[in-house]
Amino acid sequence: MVGGLSRATRPAPKDGHRDGPLVIDGRFATLGPEPGFSHGGYAAGLVAELAGGVVEVTLPRPVPVDTPLAVERLPDGRVVARHGRRIVANAAPGDLDPGSLEVEALEPVPFDEAWAASRAYPGFRYRLPSPACFVCGPRSDREVGLRVFAGPVPGRRVVAAPVRPVPPALAPDGPIPAPVVWAMLDCPSGVAAMGPGQLPRSYRYLTRILRPPSQEDRHVVIGWLVRAEGRRRSTGSALYTEDGELLAVARTTWRILDWDWELL
């Protein structure tokens, strides 16, 4: 059991470089029709947890759910997950200094201000492609839905969302598992990356958890744009306690696709 929610057995084969299969629970599907593909931040967090330490995870293609993925540890220190012969996730050693993301210069957003900002979440007005996303989907599964709706904070260059106590099914042991934290930091930074007529798709993730958040506490997550180059975006995100303690930071890279922002 990885993160308490997805199945993984390890290790087994004779060479000692392969772990047993990773299977991502179908409740964390966010893209496409059945059998579906995993939420990118969640899949990246699962692979990072298998790799151990601080790693940067790249997803060259969507990661399927409810499908055994072979996990292999390579001599150069990388950990890869394969669907058949195709690599769907690649974790390599990385490092993330919170100061490199300007997070130290960004004031935490109070919970009440984050709550007010969330009313302007784009998914409340426009038909987005993943309304059942377990992180930011208005129609997410009640058992695992986080309902993290990020919107712009007036007078600031960040988006923010309140995070209410997460469903117990996501954190049965108290601390919120690392893959859920990775996912929680992913979606708000996607809101920071997008503009009218644009759909961001994340593919590279680096998250550093300073202290595991607690399931029963309220939190605030913020996201901001770091750099825009053509159709590529780099964003930062941060998770705080309700009192403003920094718990986790992330850097995410996105590709921008064209998307018709149809009004609901």
Q: Span 115-133, mean pLDDT?
A: 91
Angle between helices 178-193 and 40-51 (to 10 degrees): 140
Q: What are phi and psi of 70, to 5 degrees?
A: -75, 135
Buried b vs exposed e over 132-166: b needs ≥16 C-beta within 10 Å?
A: ebbbbbeebeeebbbbbbbbbbeeeebbbbbbeeb
The per-residue pLDDT for range 38-66, each reduced to its tens digit, is 999 999 999 999 999 889 999 999 999 99
| Of residues 134 and 103, more confidently modeled | 134
Q: Which helix (H) or strand (E) holds 46?
A: helix 40-51
Domain range list for the chain: 7-93, 98-258
CATH class of 7-93: alpha beta
pLDDT band at 104 (very low <50, low <70, confident <90, very high): low
> 171 or 10: whose pLDDT is higher?
171
pLDDT the model gives residue 77:
87
User: CB 70: neighbour CB atoms within 10 A?
Assistant: 18
Could you read off the pLDDT of 10-19 as tens digits, one per residue? 333 333 356 7
With cut-offs at 50, 70 and 90, classify the pLDDT of residue 33. very low
Residue entry with tokens 């302007």: 120
pLDDT at 5 (0 to 100): 52
Phi first, then psi: what are they for 7, rounded to 5°?
Answer: -90, 135
Let me know if the fold of 7-93 is the same as that of 98-258. yes
pTM score, whole prediction = 0.90
pLDDT digits 0-9 by tens, 222-255: 999 999 999 999 999 999 999 999 999 999 999 9
Q: Give the fold, CATH level 3, of 98-258.
A: Thiol Ester Dehydrase; Chain A (3.10.129)
Averaged over 118-145, what is the pLDDT?
88
Identify which has the larger pLDDT, 170 or 116: 116
The answer to whether residue 150 scores a pLDDT higher than 90 is yes
- Mean pLDDT over each residue of the chain, to the nearest integer: 88
